Structure 1
Amino acid sequence: MLAETLLPNGWVHYLLGGLLIGGGTVIIYLTTGITAGASTFLESTLSYVSGQSRFQQYRFRASRDWRVVFTLGIVLGGAVYGLAFGEFGWTTDVQWWRLLVGGVLVGVGTRLGKGCTSGHGVCGVGSLSETSLLNVATFVGIAIGTAQIVAALGVSP
């Protein structure tokens, strides 16, 4: 009964998605020796167009080609899913400016947390990194608290 309440659309597609994400990160790590967190993708991509020394570090330039392909795969994977299941397009009622502010806050958090939620949550927890375990616990705790505050204030999209 609880599973039906928490997962009204079933659980199989979550399992499949998790296996694909986990398998992809394992393949990337085994073939490159690099953890597949998404926050480094932006920095390595900016190495193509920015002359700033921060983005011209060897670690960004050396891995930028496969990171661009990986990032395109994330976007195209979502598009293929949307086309295959007819769930394509804008799927939120959240106002654009709230998404923008949220994106900026996520970016700041990524810099402060020395990585993104996907890097810490998938790769860091998978390797039992103490930093990642602490960061994920912080992410989840803050998310739960924020959701409770927003719900209590009656904020809607």
Structure 2
Amino acid sequence: MSIDWNSYTPWASLGGGAMIGMAVSVFIVVNGRIAGISGLLAAAAQRSSDAWGETVLFLLGLLLAPLLWGMFAVLPEIEIDAGWPALMLAGLLVGVGTRYGAGCTSGHGVCGISRLAPRSIAATACFMSAGFAMVYIIRHVLGD
């Protein structure tokens, strides 16, 4: 593995992380809810939530932010080395995992760990370990 130092952007990455932290902080202060994307998608689908409008606006912001950024800077090229069946299976497994784990990477990994929630720390350790193991198996055992 090598690092492309010409494309290394520590300041942009730091700024993006700070904006994510600010967004989830404002969301919890204003709505009293964790900004876990799987939970927000479920709430938006139900339409019965008191904060349905804010939830939809938050999710819409996630979709529109890259488009807005693309107006001012060149977006990185997206390269996906998997076929549609693999992507659909991965999406299904992520969906099942978020239901069993009572949250997703944004809810547990970003919001839960920052609150030092033991359940979120354990959940994040589990899904990160599973991800590391799968990458190792796919790249080194199966040889893809």
Give the TM-score of the pair, scaled to structure 1: 0.81
Indicate the structure with greater helix content.
1
**How many pairs does the alignment contain?**
141
CA shift for structure 1 position 6: 8.4
CA shift for structure 1 position 92: 1.8
Q: Rate the CA distance shift 1:151–1:45 in 2: closer, same or farther, 3 A.
A: same
> Is 2:9 the partner of 1:10?
yes
User: 1:116 maps to which residue?
Assistant: 104
User: 1:128 maps to which residue?
Assistant: 116
Q: Rate the CA distance shift 1:82–1:69 in 2: closer, same or farther, 3 A.
A: same
Letter in 1 for 2:143: G
Distance 1:42 1:142 in 2: 24
| 99-108 or 84-93: bigger deviation | 84-93
Structure 1: gaps spanning 5 or more residues: 49-55
User: 2:41 maps to which residue?
Assistant: 42
CA shift for structure 1 position 46: 1.4
Distance 1:149 1:82 in 2: 35
Distance 1:63 1:142 in 2: 34
Q: Structure 1 stretches (4+) deviating beyond 6 angstroms? A: none
CA shift for structure 1 position 119: 0.4
Computed over aligned residues only, the root mean square deviation of the Cα atoms, in angstroms, reads 2.0
Superposed counterparts of 1:71-86, under 5 Å: 71-86=59-74
| 105-114 or 72-81: bigger deviation | 72-81
Q: Rate the CA distance shift 1:88–1:64 in 2: closer, same or farther, 3 A.
A: farther
Aligned residues: percent identity? 32
Distance 1:76 1:92 in 2: 21
Q: Rate the CA distance shift 1:125–1:6 in 2: closer, same or farther, 3 A.
A: farther
Contact kept in structure 2, 1:29 and 1:35, CA below 8 Å = yes
| 84-93 or 18-27: bigger deviation | 84-93
Give the TM-score of the pair, scaled to structure 2: 0.88
> Is 2:22 the partner of 1:26?
no
CA shift for structure 1 position 108: 0.3
CA shift for structure 1 position 90: 5.1
Structure 2: gaps spanning 5 or more residues: none
User: 2:56 maps to which residue?
Assistant: 68
